[in-house]
Amino acid sequence: MYRLPDSPTVTSFNTIGILTSGGDAPGMNAAIRALVRAALNQQMKVYGIQRGYAGLLNADMRRLSSTSVSNIIQRGGTILKSGRCEAFKTADGRAQAAHVLRENGIQALICIGGDGSLTGAHLLTQESGIPVIGLPCTIDNDIYGTDDSIGFDTAVNTALGAIDRIRDTALSHERLFLVEVMGRESGFIATQVGIACGAEMILIPEYPIELESISYTLATNRKAGHGSSGIIVVAEGTEPGLTGRLAEQLTQHGEEPRVCILGHIQRGGSPTGHDRVLASCLGVAAISYLMSGLTDVMVGTVGRDLTPAPLGNIIGHRRHDPRLYEMVTMLHK
């Protein structure tokens, strides 16, 4: 269990806003619920801003009550909707957003999202002085400054459940299955899923991928009777079609691989218990830190502690754990 902060209250807010931005992730609703109820406990008014920063620019928002967030903790997606907003990436767009917040009496903003969303929150407070707090929420779990992010555990378990079923066919037909999971620039999902399913190999964007060498190694090992699971986990990467190109190379070496692209099923579905607890704790901690006078920070996890990290220190960086990948290669030999 996480250790909640015991921060002194040095300021108060009458009204705050909450938005979810960027790609959706299981657990967003649990975070919204925790934020709303923790804020209401401090006598604050809470507005839910629809469709992320785009909704903020359009003043698309509604008052949230305790009833508004009843029975949402188990739901995937986000009741506030989400999206990306090109206009908010400009200084003029952020100035308009600040105007909308002030016009509606919203004194602070809490953003639930990934690196791009937190970058927007940082720039907003730097340029306008409006207090902001960020919550790390991405299935990629690549946000610098936190050990864990909302949605990651659910995405891993969703992919793992699918692979456990695929394995039955892979073993029955003694055939390689290339399973593509999400992760354009981060291999955390692929790495953890690969460990948990006992994959023969994982391919992630943090390391060079030589398709000819990889396909030759896999085919040679198969001919020598090495390797048993038949599962290769591939992070999607930044260039579309990587998994398909590997399948073509393997075919040239005499294999009959099958490609399974899990895609957006990893984003959806009911969040795991872990993600529900994580999101709830982060939401409560965010309100506590806001009232302690902190701004321009993300509330993340370091071990069991819920720790504020300056947004300026985390944006532009990407978390990576090379030791975990080393463990993968050792276990799969």
> Is residue 229 predicted with pLDDT exceeding 70?
no
Catalytic residue, candidates 24, 115, 140, 296: 140
pLDDT of residue 322: 81
Does residue 227 carry a pLDDT above 70? no
- Which band of pLDDT confidence, cut at 50, 70 and 90, is reported for residue 331? confident
> How much is the pLDDT for 220?
86
For domain 154-267, give its CATH number from 3.50.50.60, 3.40.50.460, 3.20.10.10, 3.10.50.40.
3.40.50.460
The whole-number pLDDT of residue 319 equals 87
What is 206-218 written as a DSSP string?
A: TS---HHHHHHHH
Instruction: Give all strands (DSSP E) within the chain, no chain letters.
Output: 15-20, 45-49, 61-64, 108-113, 132-136, 177-181, 201-203, 231-235, 258-261, 297-302, 305-310
pTM of the model: 0.94
What CATH code is assigned to 15-151+271-317? 3.40.50.450
Active site residue 147: no
The answer to whether 106 touches 59, Cβ cutoff 8 Å, is no
Which whole number is the average pLDDT over 95-116?
97
Helix (H) or strand (E) holding 229: none
d(CA 171, CA 189) in angstroms, rounded, equals 23
pLDDT at 147 over 80: yes
Same fold: 15-151+271-317 with 154-267: yes
pLDDT interval class at 67 (50, 70, 90)? very high
User: Which sequence spans correspond to the domains of the chain?
Assistant: 15-151+271-317, 154-267
How large is the average pLDDT for residues 191-210? 91
329 pLDDT more than 90: no
Taking 90 as the threshold, does the pLDDT of residue 261 lie above it?
yes
As a whole number, mean pLDDT of residues 46-58 equals 98
